[in-house]
A and B are shown apart, each in its own frame.
Chain A
Amino acid sequence: MSEVQLKKKKEETEEEHPMEHLLRMERMPHIWCPTCGIGTAVTAFLMALEKSQIPLKDTAIVSGIGCTGRVAGYVKLDSFHSTHGRAIPFATGLKLANPKLKVVVFSGDGDIMGIGGNHFLHAARRNMDLTVVCVNNFIYAMTGGQCAATTPVTANTSTSPYGNFEQPFSLPYLAASCGAVYVARWTALDVRRLAKSLTEALQKKGFSFVEIICPCSTLYARRNRLGTGLDLMKFYHDNSVIKHGADLSELDISFQSKIVVGKFIDRERPTFIEGVNQGLRGVLKDKFVEYGGPIDDD
């Protein structure tokens, strides 16, 4: 082939990733393993971001620590990679300082539900206006495959080498019972449905929560002899059952069991800021000075 032909062929094959304008391409390649589900989760999120039509300038993303915690670093938004478990309170400060921001928390199950569990409960209770996306791979991946608050009973992890015998959390149940206004669960394989759900979550005012069931090929799949990452993806795909509005008690996940996915909660409650402003205005009348954002705002 001539130079020109070669160049043309290269241009044809090296297609641009459709989400490149939303990614920090200068940071590629990313750190995730081949067939890890986090990348797909990010793609779905970016699709949702575009769909939601929320100005990117006004969108901020906060992660904690872990493989999923790295998401903030790859997405071209104001992005914050905070400390382990503290993404939700960090995001709470960000949101309250500048209420015009759409603030998204994107992190792992260990981060949000283990070390950060208490913050999750209270942010949902207060109806803090945040979208929380939790990538659940049933394990602590970044630290080498230890047991999580989501690890199914009997699953093997490096700190439960004979199998886990603690009861895991059902994340949607927890979120709903704490007061989240939007609760959904999808596997990372349901890209379109997941993206639709994430769009709704982003457009929702208040504490919205989306759990994404994600394969960790390197640690969870290997330790549990579940084959390759691809096998695990296939398994999740074949074994997820869509059941919108399912009874919350049906949402437990056992080892290699069926996984109920769908949208479970979609309701209205005043957000933290709405409630506080409304209450204070009522009590203090014209003495109340509503706080609308940073004092030196342009």
Chain B
Amino acid sequence: MKADPKRVLTGAHYLDGDHAAAEGALAAGCTFVAGYPITPSTEVVERMAERFPGVGGIFIQMEDELGSMAAVVGATWGGSKSMTVTSGPGFSLMMENIGLACMMEAPCVVVDVQRGGPSTGLPTLPGQADMMQAKWGSHGDYELVALSPNSPQEAFWVLIKAFNLSERFRVPVLVMMDECVGHMTEKVVIPEADQIELYPRRYTELPPEKYLPFKPEKDLVPQMIKAGDGYKIHVTGLTHDERGYPVMTWEAQEKLVRRLVEKIRLFKDELVDIEEEQTEGADVVVFSYGISSRVSIPAIQKARKEGIKVGYLRPIIVWPFPEKKIYELAQKIKGFVVVEMNYGQMVLEVERATKGKTKTILVPHGGGWVHEPEDIYKAIKEAAK
């Protein structure tokens, strides 16, 4: 299925990451956005509010983030491709209903433009410290997908990918931007609509008497309907059977939760999206994402000039974590340098994935500003020893 030409702003534009993300969502077929203003994410919903009336779609400014996320799950079951947008404090408030989206298998997209925290922290300044909350923030066991763009151009594409993956796996997909990417303005080239491939919602063709809303297909993902199609289904946040009816037993829990987790874990290899440069024959690999990856480049270049063999690895899909790739590299290199704007989140995953085969050096930053390339350079030298 191709994007609708009426919704694609084909051409070269000068956009910030937030606006580019909004254009990506429009191209992806998003028709419902519920949100609550919070810096540095607000420009996304502002753009949606401006663009929707011209292309068909509805934006509602909800009373808070709890309501925004609940509305998104409701809108998905009403037949919309739906999205909400927020930053740290709002992301925390959304967590319960992100879990609901996982349990109800409601495809949707949540954009978190990260700022410095904890608490209200640094509203207008960057951070990358919501990465573990993205993975573990809601209660219970579940799996979802998260992506992290490092430029406005990529924000456009990541939003399309996020919507496609959410439909493919019927999970909430999180877009973990940061304030720098959200607010930096760069050239964004938007292609013709026929070059944008969309993954359509998995609507069933079975008649109501044959359809079970939570009976998985071969890839563990069930087919959907939307309210009003005449199927009269029940959907609950409680543990349920294939009919969607609550069942309070450990057996039902085992069957359901195992599937919710495995529908992502079994397809981990399909869910690898990384940008990689000169990792072949490298002694050191710099691992970073979002804005930190761009600050790492001058440090890498400086080290290379001095003859250090440094590779660059940037996950665009951050959850599930590309652990296979990391392990492969870990067996060949002297060390990883992990650059992130927090005091150690994704570095834990890198360490886990290396299985002790190589060392890992974290270059932390509390947020509010980007790393000094010099600090990254020093860590590369240290790792190369």
Decide if B220 is an interface residue (CB 8 Å cutoff). Answer: no
Chain B residues whose CB sits within 8 angstroms of the CB of A72 once the complex forms: 234, 236
Which stretch, A7-15, A55-63, A150-158, touches the partner chain B?
A: A55-63
Decide if A20 is an interface residue (CB 8 Å cutoff). Answer: no
Q: Are A90 and B73 in contact (CB under 8 A)?
A: yes
Chain B residues whose CB sits within 8 angstroms of the CB of A91 once the complex forms: 74
Q: Are B78 and A97 in contact (CB under 8 A)?
A: yes
Q: How far is the CB of B376 from chain A (nearest CB, A)?
A: 42
Q: Are B246 and A287 in contact (CB under 8 A)?
A: no
Decide if B206 is an interface residue (CB 8 Å cutoff). Answer: no
Chain A residues whose CB sits within 8 angstroms of the CB of B82 once the complex forms: 93, 97
Given contacts A60-B228, A82-B100, A98-B227, A294 and B78 within 8 Å (CB-CB): yes
Given contacts A86-B97, A89-B70, A284-B54, A94 and B77 within 8 Å (CB-CB): yes
Q: Are A93 and B228 in contact (CB under 8 A)?
A: no
Which stretch, B57-65, B286-294, B298-306, B338-346, touches the partner chain A?
A: B57-65
What per-residue 1/0 map shows which CB atoms of B1-19 lie under 8 Å from chain A? 0001010000000000000
Q: Which of these, B31, B56, B74, B76, contacts A89 with CB under 8 Å? A: B74
Decide if A247 is an interface residue (CB 8 Å cutoff). Answer: no
Which residues of B190-214 are within 8 A (CB) of A? 200-201, 203
Q: Are A291 and B75 in contact (CB under 8 A)?
A: no
Which stretch, A73-81, A180-188, A221-229, A235-243, touches the partner chain B?
A: A73-81
Q: Are A56 and B79 in contact (CB under 8 A)?
A: no
Decide if A263 is an interface residue (CB 8 Å cutoff). Answer: no
Decide if A92 is an interface residue (CB 8 Å cutoff). Answer: yes
Number of A residues, CB within 8 Å of B: 51
Q: Are B56 and A290 in contact (CB under 8 A)?
A: yes
User: Smallest CB-CB separation from A74: which chain B residue?
Assistant: B234
Decide if B218 is an interface residue (CB 8 Å cutoff). Answer: no
Chain A residues whose CB sits within 8 angstroms of the CB of B385 once the complex forms: none
Chain B residues whose CB sits within 8 angstroms of the CB of A24 once the complex forms: 234, 245
Q: Which of these, B29, B58, B77, contacts A291 with CB under 8 Å? A: B58
Q: Are A296 and B200 in contact (CB under 8 A)?
A: yes
A76 to B245, CA, bound (A): 12
Q: Are A97 and B32 in contact (CB under 8 A)?
A: yes
Given contacts A82-B73, A291-B57, A96 and B237 within 8 Å (CB-CB): no
Which residues of B223-250 are within 8 A (CB) of A? 226-238, 245-246
Decide if A17 is an interface residue (CB 8 Å cutoff). Answer: no
Decide if A295 is an interface residue (CB 8 Å cutoff). Answer: yes
Q: Are B235 and A81 in contact (CB under 8 A)?
A: yes
Decide if B55 is an interface residue (CB 8 Å cutoff). Answer: yes
Chain A residues whose CB sits within 8 angstroms of the CB of B226 once the complex forms: 97-98, 294
Q: Are B31 and A291 in contact (CB under 8 A)?
A: yes
5 contacts between A and B (CB under 8 A): A78-B233, A80-B227, A82-B237, A118-B64, A294-B78
Q: What 14 new A-B contacts, CB under 8 Å, besides A81-B237, A92-B34? A: A82-B70, A83-B97, A86-B97, A89-B67, A93-B34, A96-B60, A97-B76, A98-B227, A98-B228, A118-B64, A122-B63, A291-B31, A294-B78, A297-B79
Residues of B within 8 A of A (CB): 4, 6, 29, 31-32, 34, 52-58, 60, 62-64, 66-68, 70-80, 82, 96-97, 100, 104, 200-201, 203, 226-238, 245-246
Residues of A within 8 A of B (CB): 24, 27, 56-58, 60, 62, 72-73, 76-83, 85-86, 88-98, 100-101, 118-119, 121-122, 272, 276, 280, 284, 287-297
